[in-house]
Chains A and B, each alone.
Chain A
Amino acid sequence: MTREPDFTLSELMITAAAEAFRGDGEILVTGIGPLPRVATGLAKLTFEPGLMMTDGEAFLTEDPVPLGAKPEDVPGFSGWMPYHRVFSTLWSGRRHAMVTPVQIDRWAQGNISCLGDFARPKVQMLGVRGFPGNSISHKNSMLIPSHSKRVFVEGEVDVVSSLGFSDARWPEGMRRPEIEIGRIVTDLCVMDFNGPDHAAQVISLHPGVTLEQVQGATGFPLLRAADMGETPAPAAADLEIIRRLDPLDMRARAVKGNPPGVRQAA
């Protein structure tokens, strides 16, 4: 007998995203957006207690602040992390961020700046923000709520905001820093760029998803990791923490249609 699925896709994605931070130890983690933020809290409360995180503004907290918290629910602070310390921390490499680029290419480069020609953009987006400095300094993981060829583009991203493994833009003769890309968690699968020559590979498929389906939604070739399996379901204890860190169920709106974690066979 199999149990009825009792977790949503967003909860599965949070659990998979938390794994990105395993082994990180005592560094600053920043999850940008509701699912990455809950994922950092889940990692800290389950297997990486050393992680440092903020209240979303300028203070460090040991108890992750729930999404949508009221002022009276904010726990005490363990330290101060205003932006000038965020920059000195991230430039030293002691940080891991999870971000959501609008475009990602086969070299793991990300774009949040604009679409089209930079001089006269078709669509202005956020600008490069902190992506160039983050990606040359510390590890970055990504969370993509809607896996498609519009995100995972065929060619190069329109504006290289975060770095990957392309050789195109480095000054000649420069000793290059190591670029670290962590996990890419999408609504279909978990990927990384740890294939041969940093090729993209699928390391697990979400329940009910096929590799062909993922490839069909990706603009560049994907490899199947040697030990590719199914993305593990959240444990009951994980779900309890997720619900505590997101009491208003903002995660339900983070993935279109809020589907169940186990998709029905087509």
Chain B
Amino acid sequence: MDKRTDLPDAIASLQDGMTIGIGGWGPRRKPMALIREILRSDLKDLHLVCYGGPEVGMLCAAGKVSKLTYGFVSLDKIPLEPWYRKARENGTVSVNELDEGLLLLGLRAAAERVPFAPTRVGLGSSVPEINSYMKTVASPYDPNDILLAMPAIPLDVSLIHVARADRMGNTRSEGPDPFFDDLFAGAAERVIVSAEEVVDRLDQSDAEDAKKSLFHRGLVDKVVAAPLGAHPTTSHGHYGWDMEHLKLYGATAGDTAAWAEYNDRYVAGGEAAYVNALGGAEAILKLPIPVF
């Protein structure tokens, strides 16, 4: 069994109009090498589902997104993702703006293959109005317990960045918080993993290392070696986010010529050229993981 492949082959397996889940959280553990490969492709009309970071803005800047389902889209120190903001204010994408917990519940329902998750979250707020597909359900045990029926969010594919992976699709994720990568994996028909390091076998790991696996290999369809592939977001165990680069990218927001220049300089030439444009691997590996 060998699930290893390269970026172009992995992205060639995607199609226009797909619903794509993206792991990570804001500017943390985003599969940016896979995202840049989408930017280099002809893919379009994508529906992204995520706790969004720069991947959302970049794909919006490139006109590849028709719909967004999100708990937020933020670069943390830059609280509002700049190209996402433009996409919203220009009305170029349709959105399902969810409470952060509702996104979790929708993914979990999809992963468990049930049609909805009952919850109080969202009731009394504008959430059911701005997501007019949402319905309520009365408890069969007490009709006065009315709950929001958060619909399952099934995904065609999820893209998830990990620290290490092997040819069978076993993975190890580093960092203080697993976020919801397990649910993005479970809610998807298939998973494409990008990894800082791909090895032949992880199956001789000790118990502590094996606990760093957030989802089992049966969910994983493709494994792509992508060293530095989360930059400019944090890859725990390897490098921190690159806030200067995120600012540089963010400054292109709303300016198609500036975005085209960014794309030419950093994206178009492939991952090796990307790393060179940033001053080499050593410069990226020196980026500190931030403390809060």
Q: A132–B291 contact, CB under 8 A?
A: no
Decide: A136 and B120 in contact? CB cutoff 8 A: yes
Is B122 engaged at the interface, CB distance under 8 Å to the other chain?
A: yes
0/1 interface trace, chain B 109-149, chain A, CB 8 Å (1 if under)? 00000000001111111111110000010100001111000
Q: Is B225 an interface residue (CB 8 A)?
A: no
User: Chain A residue with minimal CB distance to B101?
Assistant: A133
Among B158-166, B177-185, B266-274, the stretch that binds chain A is: B177-185
CB-based contact A173/B146 at 8 Å: yes
| B183 → A minimal CB distance (Å) | 9
The answer to whether the Cβ of B79 comes within 8 Å of any Cβ in the partner chain is yes
In the complex, whether B89 has a CB less than 8 A from a CB of chain A is: yes
Cβ–Cβ < 8 Å partners of B138 in chain A: 173
B97 touches A84 (CB 8 A): no
- Asked if B279 is an interface residue, CB under 8 A from chain A, the answer is no
B187 → chain A, closest Cβ, in Å? 15
The answer to whether the Cβ of A4 comes within 8 Å of any Cβ in the partner chain is: no
Contacts A83-B25, A83-B177, A131-B125 given; does A57 touch B292 at CB 8 Å: yes
A136 touches B74 (CB 8 A): no
- Whether a CB of chain B sits under 8 angstroms from the CB of A175 is yes
A20-49 interface bits toward B, Cβ cutoff 8 Å, 1 = contact, 0 = none: 000000000000000000000000000000
Determine if A160 and B121 form an interchain contact, defined as CB atoms under 8 angstroms apart: no
B261 at the interface (CB under 8 A from A): no
Let me know if B88 is at the binding interface, CB within 8 A.
yes
If the complex has contacts A87-B104, A129-B99, A163-B125, are A120 and B91 also in contact, measured as CB distance less than 8 A?
A: yes
Tell whether A56 is near chain B: CB-to-CB under 8 Å.
Answer: yes
Contact of B180 among A84, A124, A135 (CB under 8 A): A84
> Which residues of chain B are near A136, meaning CB under 8 Å?
120-125
Interface hits, B182-211 → A, CB 8 Å: none
A165-181 interface bits toward B, Cβ cutoff 8 Å, 1 = contact, 0 = none: 00001110111110100
Partner of A91, one of B25, B121, B145, B176: B121
Q: Which residues from chain A contact B73 at a C-beta distance below 8 Å?
A: 127
Residue of A nearest to B176 (CB): A58
Q: Known contacts being A84-B104, A128-B99, is A58 close to B80, with CB within 8 Å?
A: no
**Interchain CB contact under 8 A, B146 and A161:** no
B238 interfacial contact with A, CB 8 Å: no
Chain B residue contacts of A87, Cβ below 8 A:
100-101, 104
Please, how many angstroms separate the alpha-carbon atoms of A123 and B101 in the complex? Answer: 24
Within 8 A of B (CB), among A117-151: 118-133, 135-137
* With A57-B292, A129-B99, A173-B144: A114-B122 Cβ-Cβ less than 8 Å: no
The answer to whether the Cβ of B241 comes within 8 Å of any Cβ in the partner chain is no
Cβ-neighbour of A128 out of B25, B80, B97 (below 8 A): B97
Inter-chain contact A160/B136, CB cutoff 8 Å: no
A204 at the interface (CB under 8 A from B): no
Q: Is A69 on the interface with B (CB-CB < 8 A)? A: yes
Nearest A residue to B91 via CB reads: A120
Cβ of B79 and Cβ of A120 under 8 Å apart?
no
Chain A residue at minimum C-beta to C-beta distance from B136: A171
The answer to the question of A18 belonging to the interface, with a C-beta cut-off of 8 Å to chain B, is: no
Within 8 A of A (CB), among B18-53: 25
Known: A174-B123, A174-B144, A177-B120. A131 touches B99 (CB 8 A): yes
Besides the known contacts A91-B121, A174-B144, 5 further A-B residue pairs in the complex with CB atoms under 8 A apart: A56-B292, A57-B177, A71-B291, A132-B99, A160-B124
**B-to-A contact residues, CB < 8 Å:** 25, 70-74, 79-80, 84-85, 88-89, 91, 97-102, 104, 119-130, 136, 138, 143-146, 176-180, 288, 291-292
A-B contact pairs, 29 of them (CB 8 A): A56-B291, A56-B292, A58-B176, A69-B291, A82-B178, A83-B25, A84-B104, A114-B88, A118-B129, A120-B91, A121-B88, A124-B80, A126-B74, A126-B80, A127-B71, A129-B72, A129-B100, A130-B101, A132-B99, A133-B100, A136-B121, A136-B123, A136-B125, A159-B130, A160-B125, A160-B126, A163-B125, A170-B123, A170-B124
Q: Which 10 A-B pairs have the closest CB atoms?
A: A56-B292, A58-B176, A133-B121, A174-B146, A58-B177, A124-B88, A132-B125, A82-B177, A175-B144, A133-B101
